[in-house]
């Protein structure tokens, strides 16, 4: 498949390029950002060697739909989607924290809980829970926004404020927006027979001082979903939950002895595994949006993206 591993465009009035784990962001004329979703796959903060067909398109289109479905409660950066893999929006100065919110004891929180910890990012997790149980109330467990090649780190609200990473005034807004987005995301998921288990949101501030939701939202890379049907029965029987998220990639890596730690070898991913992962991403797209996934043209993908972005910028 003609997947996107990296881009090296030169757009008019381009100022800089930031290459994240999955997205590549071009700054244009100090006003716009062109965000391109590649087909790279990351887990445990490590970019894996194989790209996943249509993954970038899926992430971009889910995030776009969710931005439009939440703009009435939280303002966001998005202006246009000139290509299936591209979002263009307002230039923002990102906050250096990711706002992680958890409705259930799963993933990282469950691993910490199993290790005996009851405080995560300064927030208490009540006793008596088992993996995938619902928290009495959703908890916000922020993490630092890692630079290239570094790992995100848990951080408490108190440390964020003490180290002046975010002002208290701004942080209260981030918390409020995070809870509102999670509530709306949970409502959207429920209509599709899913449970939004946990997710993360990123925010930035415009030159005018407005705080906007940026980056992706409610995608399988940033969120964890369970199927609602049979959830309670599986919990009662202590069975694994049926889920749609990137956790299945993490579990496969763990089984192969890889968790992103030093001196660990990334396991080889077969063509069959690549197709399986691609199909799982398509499944989530169709489940969460309620729409059939339409694959973008897989001819020369980079030429297609460049033309569509150039056409937009020239208007």
Residue 252 lies in a domain: no
The whole-number average pLDDT for the span 205-223 is 92
| Tens of pLDDT, residues 258-312 | 998 888 999 999 999 999 999 988 988 999 899 999 999 878 899 999 999 999 9
The domain that holds 109 is classified in CATH as 3.30.470.20
Q: Do 118 and 222 sit in the same domain of this protein? A: yes
In a domain, 254, yes or no: no
Q: Which of residues 229, 245, 261 is at a domain's end?
A: 245
Is the pLDDT confidence value at 38 over 70?
A: yes
CA 233 to CA 58: how far, in whole Å?
Answer: 31
* pLDDT attached to residue 28: 96
Return the bridge partners of 144, or none: 97
Q: Return the pLDDT at 86.
A: 97
pLDDT given for residue 146 in this prediction:
63
Query: What does residue 90 show for φ and ψ, rounded to 5 degrees?
Result: -70, 140
Query: Can you give the pLDDT at residue 243?
Result: 83
- State residue 152's pLDDT score: 76
For position 147, what pLDDT does the model report?
62
pLDDT given at position 151: 63
pLDDT tens-digit readout, 79-137? 999 999 999 999 999 999 999 999 999 999 999 999 999 999 999 999 999 999 999 99
For residues 230 and 113, membership in a common domain is answered with yes
Residue 57 resides in a domain:
yes
Place of tokens 């995301």: 185
Could you tell me if 98 and 241 lie in one domain?
yes
For residues 232 and 190, membership in a common domain is answered with yes
Q: How would residue 315 be classed by pLDDT, with cut points 50, 70 and 90? A: confident
Residues 34 and 163 in one domain: no
The pTM for the full model equals 0.88
Question: Do residue 121 and residue 195 come from a single domain?
Answer: yes
Name the pairing type of β-strands 194-205 and 223-227. antiparallel
Q: What is the pLDDT of residue 215?
A: 87
255 part of a folded domain: no
Examine the domain organization and report whether 158 and 217 are in the same domain: yes
Q: 37 and 177 share a domain?
A: no
Q: For 87, phi and psi rounded to 5 degrees?
A: -125, 135
Q: Does 218 share its domain with 101?
A: yes
Tokens (6 digits) for 147: 């630079």
* 227 shares its domain with 101: yes
Instruction: State how far the Cα of 311 lies from the Cα of 238, in Å rounded to an integer.
Output: 54
Is 170 found in the same domain as 235? Answer: yes
Residue 208 CA to residue 11 CA, distance in Å, equals 25
Express each pLDDT in 234-272 by its tens digit: 999 999 998 877 778 888 999 999 998 888 999 999 999
Q: What residues make up the domain containing 205?
A: 94-245
Asked if the structure places residue 134 within a domain, the reply is yes
Tens digit of pLDDT for each residue in 216-236?
Answer: 899 888 899 999 999 999 999
User: What's the domain count of the chain?
Assistant: 2
pLDDT for 284 equals: 83
Can you give the CATH number for the domain in which 67 is found?
Answer: 3.30.200.20
Domain membership of residue 260 (yes or no) is no
Q: What is the pLDDT of residues 62-76, one digit of tens each?
A: 999 999 999 999 999
Domain membership flag for residue 279? yes
Q: Grade residue 20 by pLDDT with cuts at 50, 70 and 90.
A: confident
180 shares its domain with 118: yes
């Amino acid at each position: 498949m003609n997947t996107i591993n990296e881009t090296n465009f030169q757009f008019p009035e381009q100022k800089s390029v930031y290459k994240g784990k999955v997205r590549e962001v071009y700054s244009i004329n100090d006003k716009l950002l062109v965000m391109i979703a590649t087909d790279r796959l990351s887990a445990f903060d490590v970019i894996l060697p194989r790209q996943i067909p249509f993954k970038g398109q899926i992430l971009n289109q889910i995030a776009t739909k969710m931005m439009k479905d939440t703009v009435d409660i939280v303002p966001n950066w998005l202006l246009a989607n000139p290509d299936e893999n591209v979002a263009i929006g307002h230039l923002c100065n990102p906050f250096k924290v990711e706002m992680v919110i958890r409705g259930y004891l799963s993933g990282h929180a469950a691993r910490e809980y199993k290790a005996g910890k009851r405080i995560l990012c300064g927030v208490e997790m009540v006793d008596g829970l088992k993996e995938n149980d619902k928290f009495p109330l959703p908890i916000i467990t922020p993490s630092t926004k890692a630079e290239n090649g570094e790992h995100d780190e848990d951080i408490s609200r108190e440390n964020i404020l003490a180290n002046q990473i975010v002002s208290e005034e701004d942080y209260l807004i981030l918390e409020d927006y995070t809870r509102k987005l999670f509530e709306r995301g949970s409502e959207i998921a429920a209509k599709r027979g899913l449970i939004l288990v946990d997710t993360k949101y990123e925010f930035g501030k415009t030159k005018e001082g407005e705080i906007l939701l940026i980056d992706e939202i409610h995608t399988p890379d940033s969120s964890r979903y369970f199927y609602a049907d049979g959830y309670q029965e599986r919990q009662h029987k202590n069975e694994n939950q049926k889920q749609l998220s990137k956790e299945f990639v993490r579990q496969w890596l763990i089984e192969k002895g890889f968790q992103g730690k030093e001196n660990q070898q990334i396991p080889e991913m077969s063509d069959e595994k690549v197709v399986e992962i691609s199909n799982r991403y398509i499944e989530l797209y169709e489940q969460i949006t309620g729409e059939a996934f339409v694959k973008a043209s897989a001819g020369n993908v980079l030429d297609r993206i460049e033309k569509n972005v150039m056409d937009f910028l020239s208007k």
